[in-house]
Structure 1
Amino acid sequence: MELRDYLHILRKNWLIILALTLVGVGAAAAYSLTRTPLYESTSTVAVSTQTSGTVQELQQGSSFSQARVATYVVVAESPLVLDPVIAKLGLDTTADELADIMVVSAPLSTTAINITVTDADPQLAADIANATATSLGTAVEDIETTADLTASPVKTTVIRPALPGTTPVSPNVPLNLALGGLIGLALGITVAVLRAVLDNKVRNPRDVSNLTDRPIIGVIPFDPKAADRPIILEADPTNQRAESFRALRTNLQFIELDGGQTFVITSSIPSEGKSTTAVNLAIALADAGKRVALIDTDLRKPKVADYLGIEGAVGLTDVLIGRASITDVMLPWGRRPLYVLPAGKVPPNPSELLGSSQMKTLLDDFANSFDVVICDAPPLLPVTDAAVLSRVTTGAIVVTAAGRTTTHQLAGALEALETVGAKVAGLVMTMAPTKGPDSYLYGYGYGYGYGYGYGGPGSSPVKSG
């Protein structure tokens, strides 16, 4: 994926990312609020060696002290030092438990020892640190005083007594909130990327372009009132959806295919808007002065007659079996050069009728009599009707619905056409969102610019893929 793909994913899933980031911050805040505040107190002890005072003896004493400091760090956490502390302060604990709340360290190349105690009671932490420093001095004196010495050559001095802490060192609320936010943000981005990777729906023209090199000749925006006004060119000619059909008409005129202008309009699965696309495209072509024949070749669930409000009981089926002639069932529609051939009765063998020699002869006659022939055919994946019919037409126009068709289904439909040797004239995306990150107006170069006048006579062609 390219950088803009990742930016698109982030823009599309920003609510999820924000929500998980806030959840991370909230979890960190809850954790911090439920923790007992802990305070630190540190007492510093200096270790020195008693010498006569010459320079050489001072150097030797300093080296001796540094060498012994590491031992004293261990001694400070031993029962030898901590048991007297427990007795002095009256603590209800053991030496090992007391050592767990204590950190004894010696800065590098020094003879100082830091005794740091962490406890919920700041005063107690300071008392333990100071008592440990005092007890360490006593323990060192006992260790270093041998039988032949009357006094220890090593002396410990408390150079910085511990004071009660005023600010808790744990929990570190700002750090916890920052870490919680970062973890939530990382989780949100991960979820967003996984959603994009696992999402197999065709949602925008780029998804179509990634599947095929055939051009996208139309993008029909989503219309929440489409079910109430399927023939948008009649119901609302200035609507954005109506203009998109004019753009489709314009693009279709630039497609150069051998064998005239006879097109099968189909889709991968039902309910993708192929019939409304076929009807509106036929009207748009007729409005441009083209002599158009619209044939309902969906002999399973015909809809053209219902959309156009004409009688559809007799039609294509009757013509193919020789029960009626074209002149008897071909109906003009509106004040334009548009003629409609309904499907007629649903036959038991639609594929055989559409693949018959009578159907080929009929389409050849139409191609000679009309400028453009539009055939509304069934979806490709459930039945073979459209694939059979596409072999005897100029090309197929495949309709795919944004957010409804999967990439697998669209690829399967295109493969079905390729298997029978049919030409794909182009693809049309329907129900394309006009808002949000998947909008065909956002970042893809399709659709219309701001300020375009939909009431004008011209059309704005949709960019081909």
Structure 2
Amino acid sequence: MTGPITEYGRVLRGRWRWLVWGTLIALGATTLLLLIRPPLYRYEATVFVRTPGDVSRVLDGGDSYARGRAGTYAALARSDDLAARVIADLGLDVTPAELSTRVAAVNPSGTALIGFEFGARSPGEAEQIATVFLAELASTVRTLESVPGSLVPRAELVVVDTPAPAVRVVALGATVPVTLLAATLAGLVLGATAAALRSLFDRSIRDPLDAARISGLPLIGSIRSGPGDALTAEVQAVLHRLLAALPQPGHGVITVIGTGPGPATSDSAVFLASALTAHGDSVLLVDLDFRSADSTRLLSERGVPGISDVTCGDTTASSAAVRTRVGDFMGVGTAPGDLGGPAGSAALRRTVHDLRELYSFVVLACPSVTTAAAIGAESDVAVLAVRENATTEEELRQISPLLPANTVVLFDARIRPDSPRNSEPDRQIEAAE
């Protein structure tokens, strides 16, 4: 039993925004209903059936008679004739049948009490209806219970509490605060249910072992929290396995590949570059995301010389690289060109080869498998970035056959789709003053 509850709690923590949206939608709908629906106010009163006449001299003091009469008078309160007299007294513009529906009378079992509720469109009207209605009902009871020759009736009605001010009610007699509270609870339940159903049909990867199993590739570790420049035990374990996968210890070109659109590639590339820099190595992080500027997460400002300019021979690597907190950084540049053709691929491989001679490690953020293939043998190891709750099983199955043979898996669980977007990579890739 603990397992399913733990899993359900994990789903709710990961998709907490669903609960927030469910609550906001429920409260919004309820508030809209309160605004467009004509208000209805409720006025409450309690009366006691008293037996002051000869009935009071019986063995039980008239208690049985009063309890028996209480149910009868509660039913009499719904009489259209009684409602018609109240309408005539107050000059109301309603029918007797409509006014009767606004009056509720309940006799608690085994008591001589009757609880009344009166509904109206304003607090003042509710109080007026209650006052006149109880007076007319008391008059009717005195008439029915009068005995010829007796000065007092057998039974009469007495108001036994001080009625509270009229309160606004919404549905099923609930007040506004109770209605809003119920809407909040209903929104939480609906949000939690929607989150659970979404998780049930969600085929995204949640476990690093599943990522390794589906892709058929070795797993070098998981990123659970924090940037790579904090050399925690987790980061050191990832670095140890990554360096072990390189053919030459202490040097290499690492190509980070994503399974699809999104920040997984750049986030993982920044993580590895910052971890290698904190390890004490000279590192160059290169942005190879040649899509639109809106697609990239790295600081690859258009109009600034970068890898494409170095590849075309328009500038040098030392001029295009910018010093940052994760090592040196080289953006896309101003002239991406056609890297898919033979000439472009060869030029890119030559550039990467030259960068290898300048740095201990070159980390390439390469979302496109085509671009990764253009680098070819110049890449010592490829890292497949898998995002928890974002990368799907289908995406992983489709891209796995296209990856180089020297590919390993890095599982990133730092950012969830339902959590605020992490801007840490953007802040990390800032030029040092």
Alignment of 1:423-438 (within 5 A): 427-429=408-410, 432=412
Cα–Cα, structure 1 residues 99 and 47, in superposed 2: closer, same or farther, change >3 Å? farther
State the identity %.
Answer: 22
Q: For residue 24 of structure 1, what is the aligned residue in structure 2?
A: 26
Question: Are the counterparts in 2 of residues 118 and 125 from structure 1 also a CA contact under 8 Å?
Answer: yes
Q: CA RMSD in A?
A: 5.7
Matched, 1:399 2:384: yes
User: How far did residue 117 of structure 1 move?
Assistant: 1.6
Take 1:37 and 1:150, find their aligned partners in 2: how far apart are those partners? 46
Which residue of the other structure, out of 343, 348, 358, is the alignment partner of 1:306?
Answer: 348
Q: For residue 130 of structure 1, what is the aligned residue in structure 2?
A: 131
Question: Are the counterparts in 1 of residues 223 and 414 from structure 2 also a CA contact under 8 Å?
Answer: no
Q: For residue 117 of structure 2, what is the aligned residue in structure 1?
A: 116
The AA in structure 2 aligned to 1:166 is P
User: How far did residue 186 of structure 1 move?
Assistant: 2.8
Cα–Cα, structure 1 residues 183 and 64, in superposed 2: closer, same or farther, change >3 Å? closer
Post-superposition Cα deviations, 1:215-251, rounded to whole Å, max 9, x if no partner, equal: 4125699xxxxxxxxxxxxxxxx9xxx9999544444
Take 1:55 and 1:412, find their aligned partners in 2: how far apart are those partners? 92
Question: Are the counterparts in 1 of residues 45 and 162 from structure 2 also a CA contact under 8 Å?
Answer: yes
Alignment of 1:91-170 (within 5 A): 91-143=92-144, 155-160=154-159, 165-170=164-169
Runs of 4+ in 1 over 6 A off after TM superposition: 161-164, 242-245, 265-273, 299-302
Cα–Cα, structure 1 residues 81 and 245, in superposed 2: closer, same or farther, change >3 Å? closer
Take 2:205 and 2:55, find their aligned partners in 1: how far apart are those partners? 90
User: How far did residue 28 of structure 1 move?
Assistant: 3.4
The AA in structure 1 aligned to 2:64 is S
Take 2:86 and 2:415, find their aligned partners in 1: how far apart are those partners? 71
User: How far did residue 407 of structure 1 move?
Assistant: 0.6
Matched, 1:174 2:177: yes
Q: For residue 410 of structure 1, what is the aligned residue in structure 2?
A: 396
Which residue of the other structure, out of 8, 14, 19, is the alignment partner of 2:16?
Answer: 14
Take 2:341 and 2:112, find their aligned partners in 1: how far apart are those partners? 96
Instruction: Give the alignment's TM-score, normalised by structure 1.
Output: 0.49
User: How far did residue 14 of structure 1 move?
Assistant: 3.4
The AA in structure 1 aligned to 2:409 is V
Post-superposition Cα deviations, 1:14-51, rounded to whole Å, max 9, x if no partner, equal: 34533443343344344445552514042524242732
User: How far did residue 52 of structure 1 move?
Assistant: 7.1
Cα–Cα, structure 1 residues 220 and 82, in superposed 2: closer, same or farther, change >3 Å? closer
Select the structure of larger CA radius of gyration. 1
Alignment of 1:178-327 (within 5 A): 178-202=181-205, 205=208, 207-209=210-212, 211=214, 215-217=218-220, 247-252=240-245, 303=345, 306-309=348-351
Question: Are the counterparts in 2 of residues 49 and 64 from structure 1 also a CA contact under 8 Å?
Answer: no
Cα–Cα, structure 1 residues 25 and 207, in superposed 2: closer, same or farther, change >3 Å? farther
Question: Are the counterparts in 1 of residues 214 and 393 from structure 2 also a CA contact under 8 Å?
Answer: yes
Take 2:210 and 2:130, find their aligned partners in 1: how far apart are those partners? 67
**Secondary structure of 1:38's aligned partner:** strand
User: How far did residue 194 of structure 1 move?
Assistant: 4.0
Cα–Cα, structure 1 residues 62 and 399, in superposed 2: closer, same or farther, change >3 Å? closer
Q: For residue 427 of structure 2, what is the aligned residue in structure 1?
A: none
Post-superposition Cα deviations, 1:361-419, rounded to whole Å, max 9, x if no partner, equal: xxxxxxxxxxxxxxxxx979xx9xx9xxxxxxxxx9883553775312434666x79xx
Gaps of 5+ in 2: 225-230, 248-254, 282-339, 360-367, 423-433
User: How far did residue 83 of structure 1 move?
Assistant: 2.7
Post-superposition Cα deviations, 1:308-337, rounded to whole Å, max 9, x if no partner, equal: 4289xxxxxxxxxxxxxxxxxxx9x7499x
Question: Are the counterparts in 1 of residues 70 and 113 from structure 2 also a CA contact under 8 Å?
Answer: yes
Question: Are the counterparts in 2 of residues 41 and 122 from structure 1 also a CA contact under 8 Å?
Answer: no
Question: Are the counterparts in 2 of residues 266 and 379 from structure 1 also a CA contact under 8 Å?
Answer: no
User: How far did residue 99 of structure 1 move?
Assistant: 1.0
**Secondary structure of 1:155's aligned partner:** coil
Cα–Cα, structure 1 residues 18 and 220, in superposed 2: closer, same or farther, change >3 Å? closer
**Secondary structure of 2:169's aligned partner:** coil
Take 2:67 and 2:348, find their aligned partners in 1: how far apart are those partners? 100
User: How far did residue 87 of structure 1 move?
Assistant: 2.4
The AA in structure 1 aligned to 2:349 is Y
Alignment of 1:48-63 (within 5 A): 48=51, 50-51=53-54, 54-56=57-59, 58-59=60-61, 61-63=62-64
User: How far did residue 307 of structure 1 move?
Assistant: 3.5
Cα–Cα, structure 1 residues 131 and 83, in superposed 2: closer, same or farther, change >3 Å? same
Q: For residue 420 of structure 1, what is the aligned residue in structure 2?
A: none
Cα–Cα, structure 1 residues 164 and 124, in superposed 2: closer, same or farther, change >3 Å? farther
Q: For residue 350 of structure 1, what is the aligned residue in structure 2?
A: none
**Secondary structure of 1:116's aligned partner:** strand
Instruction: Give the alignment's TM-score, normalised by structure 2.
Output: 0.52
Question: Are the counterparts in 2 of residues 82 and 95 from structure 1 also a CA contact under 8 Å?
Answer: yes
Q: For residue 42 of structure 1, what is the aligned residue in structure 2?
A: 45
The AA in structure 2 aligned to 1:184 is G
**Secondary structure of 2:51's aligned partner:** strand
Report how many aligned residue pairs link the two structures. 317
Take 2:117 and 2:28, find their aligned partners in 1: how far apart are those partners? 32
Gaps of 5+ in 1: 222-237, 255-264, 289-298, 312-330, 337-377, 387-395, 418-423, 443-465
User: How far did residue 110 of structure 1 move?
Assistant: 2.3
Take 1:195 and 1:106, find their aligned partners in 2: how far apart are those partners? 49
Alignment of 1:348-387 (within 5 A): none
